[in-house]
Structure 1
Amino acid sequence: VHKQQINQENIIQWLSVQTTAISPSIKLHTRNLPSVRGSDGHANSDRMIAMNINVVAHFHQAVETNLASKDSHWVFVNEEISDSEIMELAHSSLGRMTVVRQIFPLWRDSSVSCMRNNHRISSLLCDPQEGYLQSLEVSNLYLYDSVLMLANAFYRKLEDRKWHSMASLNCIRKSTKPWNGGWSMLETIQKTALYPQGRITGLTGIMDFMDNGSNSHVQFEILGTSFSETFGKDIKRLATWDSVHGLNGSLKESRIENGMQGEDPFVMVAENILGQPKRYKGFSIDVLDALAKILGFKYDIYQVADSKYGSQLSNGSWNGMIGELINKASAQNHRADLAVSAITITPERENVVDFSKRYMDYSVGILYHKPEEKINIFSLFAPFDLAVWACIAAAIPVVGVLIFLLSRMQMLRSQNPPGAHHSLSMSNSLHSAIWIVYGAFVQQGGDSMVGSVALRIVMGSWWLFTLIVCSSYTANLAAFLTVSRMDNTIRTFQDLARQMDFAYGTVRDSAVYDYFRAKGTNPLEQDSTYAELWRTISKNNGQDFCVSSPSEGIRKAKKGPYAFLWDMAVVEYAALTDDECTITVSGNSMSSKGYGIAMQHGSPYRDLISQKILELQEKGDLDVLKQKWWPRTGRCDLNSHTNAQPDGRSLKLHSFAGVFCILAAGLLLACLVAALEIWWNSNRCRQEQPKEVTELRARKTQQGEDTATLYFKDPAADANPDIVELQYTEL
């Protein structure tokens, strides 16, 4: 048998339903839901949907045949079940129970006039407090409304003078010819709202049919068992459904116990007042407040004793928040209804508890201390390779020698009058030519008077060469400085596995720890990265590099060369709010998981909370809360992977230290050369013979100044000695 079901996303699903015989005369139509684990950790499949049965009698049979254990969850879909029967079922069942039935809320509204005069039936239907209408069998209500609708349709036909005569019936024949007015009568029923008197209201409410023949005003309610320390097991309305609003849940006047585990920024202790209960804040608390405001419930929060999220122990039991939920479901500890914190949805946890829809995506991040920026005083030479610098250094003297030779050749070819004094160019000497080349290279120019075409070609080629070299250096320097700021040794798990500078680990017995164990020990895993990561993480059963809590891992990452693998949302918040901005985050998406609110299997809150989470996502409220706790512009810049300050884009002094060192070396060399020149010239002057003054002549200038002209003769000179004229003015 197959039954059609509409889930909360209004998607039609086909459920495979089987018939189970619990006695020779009673059969249950049930569907086994996915296998779950009970409080003892053993698998069972006692989650069943029962449809269209005599609920009370059949359920007592199910209890006697041990089909309603403490770990079972029964879902009854029955229109005929009454309030008294529901309470009897709730107290008979050891496990959880959910009931779906049709309701008729119209007559519970005291503002609606009594229908006694309209329908000529019992006056008990006029008192909404009696609940008499709900106690009637639904089949009787529909039977009455069917006759009422048909009578009104006949009346409309007679009023419109469109009556179709009835065909004669023959009870002997096996088949009877259909009535010709049937389709016309159906059309009249569907168009009831178009008549002046309006829609017809019966015992089941307004009768208004759509094109497919269904009544759009049908409503259902969902009831479920709840637990409280004061009243024990009870029945509460969880939600209602209609074709206009869909599933509409409310938890008004409900008080829900929430177990939590502190994790920044999901759940944090807020400011406490002496003598008052602890107050909490965080992203998960904000989500819980939003749900409480929409659904109308109140909640209490307490921290689990062992401060763990929940993992399965060797004996099959669970610790942490998951254990609290399982114990609540098995009636061992009436406390936690929900588990709220940075708890991830995993297949292992879903075997023992239910989760709401994810309210935030999940990935694994790598938190580590920012590497210290390496200081290289000669970093400005990094844009060019050493071989390039060597070639440039060699090109300067080569071109200088070539210019010197060409300049000498030009001077020898020139014809000047005998005895004329030549004004020599700076390129007439080798060191002057090299100086011109160097000046052009550093774009300072030179004072050479180049006359020949050959020299112009050489200098033009050199200037083009220096232009290209300087432009390339400038572009490469900018790119080099940009890349050096973006450089990050750890970007992915592969980088983490290859490097040797950082030790790394995670929290022992956590979801991240179990994930790396599953990936690292899977023989079908093609990527060897996880095997390498797991070998390091699992050394000495996780005692060497793993930590006992997330806060310990964050502190360890701040102190030294340690990479902490944990939830991206948690480590990203830690990096954003770090006082010294010494830690950063890298990593990639681990899997398509997310954070959810955990609750017992079959919890009456699951569907309501999931629906409201989806509504918060569609309206963008969750994005606003995320921006509150993970701002795009926080105290620290996560895009910076070194200990640079916010003004780190400007070049620091150590970046130019090499240039200043070269300048200082040049100045020292110049001073040394100057000292050597002075020493050399002084020694040379002492070795030379004194010059004889050969002629002294004094004369007066026309301006009245006294001048003297001295002529010296150098005995060491040749036959035609140079004459040096010295003039001085006597004041």
Structure 2
Amino acid sequence: MKKPEQQTDPLQFMLPFSGRVWTCMLLAWLLTSLLMLVCARLSPYEWYSHNDCVPVVENQFGALNSMWFTIGSLMQQGSELAPRASSTRMVATTWWFFTLLLISSYTANLAAFLTTSRLGNIDSVEALASQSKVKFGCPVGGAMYNFFKNSRIPLYRRMWDSMVSWSAKNESFVRKTSEGIGRVREGGYAYILESTFNQYYRERDCELTQIGGIFNPSSYAFAVPQGNAFLKEELGEVILQLHKEQFIEDLSNAWIKRFNLTGPPCSEAVDDASPTGTMEVASFGGVFIALMIGLGVAVLLCFVELLWRCRTLALRT
């Protein structure tokens, strides 16, 4: 198939995470801000006075400041606020750990989405056969033509029926490979051919790409007169020896990757990033669990600080 063009969706920056992940991030931010507010209000060590001569204590973590502190950490910008109590510091540390992992994952996945676009849902022969937007076909009378025509496998039989139905409008079969590749370059068409020819043409046209792996694999072979077991064994041993010496691999690369090429083959071109998928909540399950545990410990520390302060005041009186 033809390589897809880069996406121009204005909301592409949201693609690295699924909608559920964005929703969970919003809820985690609100929950952390709420716990920061509660712990700051309950903990006696978060109340302080700017002037020892004036017996008026203040608390810097109101509702807006708590939300500002957490959103500043999420954006990796910080704020002028600094927690004083152990419980609020525990909330801050847990939130920083959460945002570190989340933002790192988002940045890495966003880079992949901005440098390459996905091939939609067509990533295998099964996906190609289950849709009708992209037409597909093969050369008339070739090996692939006879393979689909005589196949009894339901998947390939369904593909054959589709190609036959499209042939009336000249949307499936082609007369020669150059015609098929020309239709692939126009877009909306997938050309099915033998894997060796597939690799040969992809090395010479970097706009082409292979979808999925090889199906119906077969190999070339030497034919010997029937009953000549000696020659068959000799050929087998020599072929194995050539494989061990990488002679066959070098010969294949010479014809496929170097023959009649003026520049480097497409397989040696630098690929900045590989296609990646949207990350779901399951990918961050451990991160959200760690956040919940850290916030739980912070709440426990808040009650310990409150009880310790009450005990200290009771002993003074």
Query: Which bin holds the TM-score, normalised by the shorter protein?
Result: 0.5 to 0.7
User: Aligned to 1:584, which of 209, 225, 229?
Assistant: 209
Residue 253 of structure 2 corresponds to residue 627 of structure 1: yes
For residue 504 of structure 1, give the secondary structure of its aligned residue in structure 2.
Answer: strand
Instruction: Quickly say closer, same or farther: Cα 1:459–1:377, change in 2 above 3 A.
Output: farther
**Conserved? CA contact 2:5–2:117, under 8 Å:** no
Q: Pick the aligned partner of 1:646 from 270, 277, 282.
A: 270
> Mind listing any 5+ residue stretches in structure 2 that lack a counterpart?
275-317
Residues 4, 117 of structure 2: 8 Å contact kept: no
**Residue in structure 1 matched with residue 159 of structure 2 by the alignment:** 533
Distance 2:240 2:143 in 1: 25
Larger radius of gyration: 1
Corresponding residue for residue 516 of structure 1: 148
- Provide the residue aligned with 2:31 in structure 1: 395
Matches of 2:250 and 2:50, distance apart in 1? 86
Distance 2:133 2:178 in 1: 22
How far residue 401 of structure 1 moved from its aligned partner, in angstroms, is 3.8
1:575 match: 202
Residues in 2 aligned to 1:624 and 1:647: alpha-carbon distance in whole angstroms = 24
Query: Are residue 504 (structure 1) and residue 133 (structure 2) matched?
Result: no
Question: Deviation per CA, 1:140-185, whole angstroms, max 9, x where unpaired?
Answer: xxxxxxxxxxxxxxxxxxxxxxxxxxxxxxxxxxxxxxxxxxxxxx
SS in 1 for 2:257: coil
Mapping of residues 198-347 of structure 1, within 5 Å: none
Q: Does 1:470 align with 2:64?
A: no
CA distance in 1 between counterparts of 2:40 and 2:166 reads 75
CA deviation string 1:318-351 (max 9, x = no partner): xxxxxxxxxxxxxxxxxxxxxxxxxxxxxxxxxx
Q: 1:413 to 1:626 in 2, by over 3 A?
A: closer
TM-score normalized with structure 1 length: 0.30
What displacement does 1:442 show?
4.3
State the TM-score, normalized to the length of structure 2: 0.62
Q: What are the within-5 Å matches in structure 2 for residues 71-110 of structure 1? A: none
Alpha carbons of structure 1 residues 431 and 512: separation in structure 2 relative to 1, 3 Å: closer
Query: What are the equivalent positions in structure 2 for 1:140-179 lying under 5 Å apart?
Result: none
- Indicate if the aligned counterparts of 2:3 and 2:207 stay in contact, CA closer than 8 A: yes
Change (3 A) 1:413 1:442: same
Amino acid corresponding to residue 564 of structure 1 in structure 2? Y
8 Å contact kept, 2:30–2:67 = no
Q: In the alignment, which residue of structure 2 is the partner of 1:383?
A: 17
1:182-193 aligned at under 5 Å gives the runs none
Contact 2:34 2:66 in 1 (8 A): no
Alpha-carbon distance change, 491 to 540 in structure 1, aligned in 2, over 3 angstroms:
closer
Letter of the aligned partner of 1:383 in structure 2? F
Shift in alpha-carbon separation, 1:501–1:408, aligned structure 2, 3 A: farther
- Residues 425, 449 of structure 1: 8 Å contact kept: no
Contact 1:369/1:584 (8 A) holds in 2: yes
**Separation in structure 1 between the aligned mates of residue 189 and residue 222 of structure 2, nearest angstrom:** 29
Seen in structure 2, the aligned counterparts of structure 1 residues 383 and 456 have a Cα distance that, compared at 3 Å, is same
Indicate the residue corresponding to 2:187 in structure 1. Answer: 560
CA separation of 1:597/1:536 partners in 2, compared to 1, >3 Å: closer, same or farther? farther
Any idea what SS the aligned residue of 1:569 has?
A: helix
Could you say if the C-alpha distance between residues 432 and 492 of structure 1 is closer, same or farther in structure 2, counting changes exceeding 3 Å? closer
Q: Alpha-carbon deviation of 1:406?
A: 4.3
Q: For 1:378 and 1:438, how far apart are their aligned partners in 2?
A: 21
- Higher RCO by CA contacts (8 Å cutoff, separation 6 or greater): 2
Distance in 2 between residues matched to 1:401 and 1:592, nearest whole Å: 67
Structure-2 residue corresponding to 1:456: 86
CA contact (8 A) 2:72 2:79 kept: yes
Report the Cα distance in structure 1 between the residues aligned to 2:118 and 2:201, rounded to whole angstroms. 22
Aligned-partner Cα distance in 2 for 1:540–1:424: 77
The share of aligned pairs that are identical, in percent, is 16
- Matched with 1:127 is none
More strand by share: 1
Q: Is the 8 A contact 1:369 1:560 kept in 2?
A: yes
Name the CA shift for 1:377/1:422 in 2 (closer, same or farther; >3 Å).
farther
Kindly state the Cα deviation for residue 444 of structure 1 after the two structures are TM-superposed.
4.8
Tell me the distance in 2 between the aligned counterparts of 1:416 and 1:576: 78
CA contact (8 A) 1:380 1:477 kept: no
CA deviation string 1:97-121 (max 9, x = no partner): xxxxxxxxxxxxxxxxxxxxxxxxx
- Does the Cα contact within 8 Å between 1:505 and 1:563 map onto a contact in 2? yes
CA distance in 1, matches of 2:256, 2:147: 25
Check the 8 A contact 2:7/2:117 in 1, yes or no. no
Compared with structure 1, are the counterparts of its residues 437 and 627 closer, same or farther at alpha carbon in structure 2 (3 Å cutoff)? closer
- Quick one: distance in 2 between partners of 1:405 and 1:411? 8
Which whole-Å CA distance do the structure 1 matches of 2:79 and 2:43 have between them? Answer: 15
Rounded to whole Å, the distance in 2 between the matches of 1:572 and 1:380 is: 34
Q: Secondary structure at the match of 1:398?
A: helix
SS for the counterpart of 1:546 is coil
CA gap 1:540/1:596 in 2 versus in 1, 3 angstroms = farther
Spell out, residue by residue over 1:609-657, the C-alpha distance to the aligned partner (whole angstroms, 9 max, x if none). 997797467445443321102239952138xxxxxx835239xxxxxxx
What is the SS of the residue equivalent to 2:210? strand
Q: Is the 8 A contact 2:69 2:79 kept in 1?
A: yes
**How many residue pairs get matched?**
258
Shift of 1:514: 1.0
Q: SS at 1:461's partner residue?
A: helix
Give the distance between the partners of 1:446 and 1:614, measured in 2 at CA: 73
Paired amino acid for 1:535: D
> Does the Cα contact within 8 Å between 1:556 and 1:562 map onto a contact in 2?
yes
Post-superposition Cα deviations, 1:332-381, rounded to whole Å, max 9, x if no partner, equal: xxxxxxxxxxxxxxxxxxxxxxxxxxxxxxxxxxxx11122324555554
Alpha-carbon distance in 2 for matches of 1:415, 1:624: 82
SS of the aligned residue for 2:174 comes to coil
**Matched ranges for 1:332-731 at <5 A:** 368-376=1-9, 378-381=11-14, 382-383=16-17, 385-395=21-31, 397-399=33-35, 401-402=37-38, 405-406=41-42, 411=47, 417=53, 420=54, 426-427=60-61, 430-448=63-81, 455-475=85-105, 477-478=107-108, 488=119, 489-519=121-151, 522=152, 525=153, 528-539=154-165, 543-578=170-205, 581-586=206-211, 587-594=213-220, 615=238, 618-619=241-242, 621-631=247-257, 634-637=264-267, 646=270, 648-649=272-273
Q: CA–CA distance in 2 between the matches of 1:445 and 1:415? A: 27
SS in 1 for 2:220: strand
Q: Residues 492 and 410 (structure 1 numbering): CA distance in 2 closer, same or farther, change over 3 Å? A: closer
Contact 2:2-2:184 within 8 A present in 1 as well: yes
